[in-house]
Amino acid sequence: MRRTHDGKCVPVSECPRKRPRREAEKCTKPNEQWTKCGGCEGTCAQKIVPCTRECKPPRCECIASAGFVRDAQGN
């Protein structure tokens, strides 16, 4: 048995299957990286965005530690 994200116990056979490792290939824009635990990205207008510590859905994000943020067009 395993717990789901909402706390219910279910048989392992009912657990969602893991995503293939190819997710990183979806990051097609320069200076993006795949993250399993999405966060809050900065923008040109607001480089540092207040953000809770909860994981947001997996996605491609700008590499903030290298000084990259999204522009108004989402690049």
Residue 18's closest CA among 2, 32, 29?
A: 2
- Residue 31's domain is classified under what CATH number? 2.10.25.10
Provide the CA 13 distance to its chain's centre, in angstroms.
26
| Cβ neighbours of residue 8 closer than 8 Å, sequence gap 6 or more | none
Does some domain include residue 10? no
Residue 15 clears pLDDT 80, i.e. is over it? no
On whether residue 69 sits in a domain, the answer given is yes
Name the pTM for this structure. 0.59
pLDDT digits (tens, 9 = 90+) for 28-47: 888 999 988 998 999 998 88
- Cβ density class 17-51: b for 16+ within 10 Å, e for less: eeeeeeeeeeeeeeebebbeebbebbeeeeeeeee
**Who contacts 4 (Cβ-Cβ below 8 Å, separation ≥6)?**
10, 15
Structurally, how many domains does the chain consist of? 1
Residue-range definition of the domain harbouring residue 33: 19-75
Looking at residue 17, the DSSP 8-state letter turns out to be: P
3 falls within a domain: no
Let me know if residue 45 belongs to a domain: yes
